[in-house]
Structure 1
Amino acid sequence: MTAILSALKRLWIPLVVSLTVATSGFTVYRLHGIFGAAGFSAISNGHADEIVPFNPKQVRYEVVGPPGTTGSISYLDENAAP
């Protein structure tokens, strides 16, 4: 009897941890089944990945000034809109 008690004194933490992990894993498995996550896949058929251009922008750079000098570039139009 003392051998069993001495083994339980040494192994009670690993036993509790393993029971907790097993119970948690089973709970997650059951919740996935209840909420219907098992039937869906992450693979797409490609229709959602098609990009349709809806507002193409035309950009024209006009550089003026003497050669060799520095300047600043602004990506705003004449109405200060991007």
Structure 2
Amino acid sequence: MTDDVHASPLAPHAEEEPTEAEAALPPESSLPAVSVSDLAFVLQVLIPRAYVRGREVDALLELRTKLEEILERVGHDPAA
């Protein structure tokens, strides 16, 4: 009997194959960084000045909520 480490539910899972969309992305190390101040600028300057209607309003509100949560988690006051 061979020991199959993946047979146990407590064993680490083997890495899953990336989806087609994930495979098309460049490696993480080649992605540009986004700073906290970049996110704050989008939240405080660009979003309030955006002119959107219809479903775009909901999408923009969702984006604002996500950005506020990210800034809160990294300890940056979104209002600052």
Larger-Rg structure: 1
More helix by share: 2
* Larger RCO, structure (CA 8 Å, separation 6 or more): 2
Considering the TM-score relative to the shorter chain, is it more than 0.5? no
- TM-score normalised by the chain length of structure 2: 0.30
